[in-house]
Amino acid sequence: MFVSRLIEHLFWRQIGRQSGKLAPRLLFQITNVLVYFAMGLCMAALLFKVPLTGAIATSSVIGLVIGFAVKSLIPDTFSGIALNLDQGFSISDFIQVINRPGTIRISGRVTNINWRSTYLETPEGSVMVIPNTVVSESIVLNLSKPDTSGEFEQIVTLDFQIPTDRALRVLGAAVAAAARETDAIWDTKARISEIGTLGVVYKIKYMLDPARMGPGKAKHLILGHVARQLELTGITPASSTLVSTDIWDCNHELGNAAHALRLLKHVSLFAKLPEHYLALLAQRIPTRELRTGDPLITAGDPGESMFVLGEGLVAVRIDTPNGELDVATLTPGNFFGEMSLLTGEPRSASVVALADALAFEIDKSAILPLLEGNPQAAELMSSAAAARRLASDAASKAKRPDELEEAHKSMSAKILGAMSNFFGKSKYAEPKGPRAVNKVVNG
Q: Under the rule (CB under 6 A), what is the footprint of ligand CMP?
A: 297, 303, 316, 327-328, 336-340, 347-349, 351, 388, 391-392, 442
Given the complex with ligand CMP, which of 230 and 306 has the nearer CB atom? Answer: 306
Distance between the two ends of the chain, CA-based, in angstroms?
Answer: 66
- Cβ closer to ligand CMP: 166 or 180? 180
Smaller CB separation from ligand CMP, 253 or 326? 326
Complex with ligand CMP: residue 209 or 338, whichever CB lies closer: 338
Q: Find the helix or strand (DSSP H, E) in which 351 lies.
A: strand 350-363
Residue 189: CB partners within 8 Å, gap ≥ 6? 172, 175, 204, 205, 206
**Residues facing 311 on adjacent strands:** 358
Q: How far is the CB of 221 from ligand CMP (least distance, A)?
A: 21
151 forms bridges with which residues in the sheet? 207
In the complex with ligand CMP, the residue whose CB is nearer, 84 or 348, is 348
User: Is the CB of 261 or the CB of 349 nearer to ligand CMP?
Assistant: 349
Q: Any idea what DSSP says for residue 429? A: S
Residue 174 beta carbon to ligand CMP: minimum distance, rounded to whole angstroms: 20
Rounded-to-integer distance, Cα 304 and Cα 422, Å:
11
Which residue, 250 or 296, has its beta carbon nearer to ligand CMP?
A: 296
SS (H, E, C) 75-88: HHHHHHHHHHHHCC
DSSP 196-257: -SSSEEEEEEEEE-TTTS-HHHHHHHHHHHHHHHHHHHT--B--TT--HHHHHHHHHTTTSH
Q: Give the list of residues 6+ apart from residue 43 with CB closer than 8 angstroms, or none.
A: none
Is the previous residue joined to 146 through a cis bond, with omega within 30 degrees of 0? yes
For residue 91, the minimal CB distance to ligand CMP (Å) is 44
In the bound complex, what is the minimum distance in angstroms from residue 386's beta carbon to ligand CMP?
11
Whole-number Å distance between alpha carbons of 9 and 19: 15
Report which of 273, 274, 271 is spatially closest to residue 263, judged by C-alpha positions.
271
Rounded (10°) CA dihedral 159, 160, 166, 171: 50
What is the nearest approach in angstroms of ligand CMP to the Cβ of residue 325?
10
How far apart are CB 328 and ligand CMP at their closest, in Å? 4
Minimum Å gap between C-beta 298 and ligand CMP is 9
- Helix or strand (DSSP H, E) at 194: strand 185-195
Please state the closest distance from residue 347 (CB atom) to ligand CMP, in A.
4
Taking the complex as a whole, how short is the minimal distance between the CB of residue 440 and ligand CMP, in angstroms? 10
Our CB check for ligand CMP shows the closer of 297 and 419 to be: 297
The single-letter code of the amino acid at 9 is H
Distance CA 233, CA 235 (A): 6
Instruction: Please identify, using beta-carbon distances, which residue of 222 and 315 lies nearer to ligand CMP.
Output: 315
